[in-house]
Structure 1
Amino acid sequence: MNASIKIPHGDDKVTVELTVKELMALTGVRFHGNHRLEVIARKKLNNILEETFEIEPAVPYQLLS
Structure 2
Amino acid sequence: MNTNVRIPQGDDTVKIELTVKEVLALAGAKFPNNHGIEISARKKLNSVIQGHYMEDGKQTH
TM-score scaled by structure 1? 0.75
Report the count of equivalent residues.
56
Structure 1 alignment gaps of length 5 or more:
57-65
Larger radius of gyration: 1
Higher relative contact order (CA 8 A, sep 6+): 2
Distance (whole Å) between structure 2 residues aligned to residue 34 and residue 13 of structure 1: 30
Greater per-residue strand proportion: 2
Structure 1 vs Structure 2: percent identity of aligned residues? 47
TM-score scaled by structure 2? 0.79
Structure 2 alignment gaps of length 5 or more:
none
Give the CA RMSD over aligned residues: 1.8
Runs (4+) off by over 4 Å:
none
